[in-house]
Structure 1
């Protein structure tokens, strides 16, 4: 049992505490015993909550709020309106800790884990999870994707697009645009789904970072950075120059988005290559590898943020595992780059 305070927090009642009328209590009770408790103790269910005594077999689902979820920045009332009685919210975990505050006042964040109940069919529950941008973690045999033929169709179309780019030198933008159109033609992707699955924050950020990359070049900062690198590393082996670019790109990628890191570091690596009279391809590859290896912090990549809550990870857990992994990547990627281009 818990008592809800005026601030919305939940506390344990004192041993001799006297309850008052209209006081809000949180009870852990079987749905079959709810009606008896209401009659015996004179309790009523908060109208903001779903009625747990409704008919049907109760099932529980644990689902995580993904970075593209509609619930981010919203409260319980929005969840209730979108769920339309198919899903009910029972609990919320954030970074491995169960919240002891009223769920009706809590603002949802990416990575939160929700404990949901449902009495509807698996198909309806799966549709609501997809609509809300929730990823099931544990469920009652929830069949999220029944038609496996669509999976094979999607994989085949995507494989054709990749093969056309790799072996037939078709422009990658054209190939993947045709891939999306094929998905739409085969009804593998709906019009609403196209807009819902686009990473709009990344698109906007890249649009903002491209002018910044141009400004770095036009202002001379890119040239200054390249001069700094070549001045101190002009006498060393080219492999050590690639190591510096790779490690520095990894470091920046742990602080900002990896796509933005590539936009910033690509002009610098090109300038370094030109000043050293070397081909630009190995330097750009070092940037590409470094920007893809953001393992030292939960903010470097959205996947890092996504697993932080369900895995109960702390900030320090990332660099403890990420640092050896990044060292291993440097030790493998530099010899491969050197062997390919030099």
Structure 2
């Protein structure tokens, strides 16, 4: 029996989610190990954090012998009574293993269990490494089974906004309800993860995301404030600039022949507010003259709204 020094992934997850670099590193190592097992015709069937050992030399998968022993045998008891070393919840019996089972497992379709069943469990493990939360949770075994069969967990990027979209896509494909919609081999899965890990544009680590997010918002706030100050300053300078005097328009208008202004002891000329009309009081009785743009119009006093107030 080989002695392994380290801790299980389940123990590490008690401290919270892993940085993205570690998520990818462990995921690649686990996928490579699954690929080797599948090539030998072995399906693990019980892949979960408690069966993954983290050592200085890399990750190690445990309980392969047990998986091979159970490969051709279905549980004789209902899923809610299958023994497990995982902790149970206060309400109902929640099997730790159950939360990592593929749909074909919880439905008891033993003839459909193959390497793609392990790939589903692999997706659940990676989801938990990246978010610190289980992909399928519930208060009872029945509620967990219902979620595995009918619902999809929230995207990793919803819980960890800086997660590369490629990793979200990889995990989503692992968790497909139908086997044919999942990754068809652990090798293809490992190759895709290696490509993500080597991509230069990916985020360096999940642990730094809250700090980077705060820094980004701080910069946005400072930039917005600077723009607002600049705009306010520009408006103030525009309003304080010296006003150019409006040009004075002088016009000479001759009275019609035979007319002269009335006596100068009272106002005899009035200009409309907009400067377009000119009214005057002439010495000739019985009419009121109004000038607009050099054209003379004769108004009878009876038609003027207030002839005495000119």
TM band (smaller chain): under 0.3
When you count helix as a share of all residues, which structure comes out higher?
1
Which structure has the larger Rg over C-alpha atoms? 2
Tell me the TM-score normalised to structure 1 length: 0.19
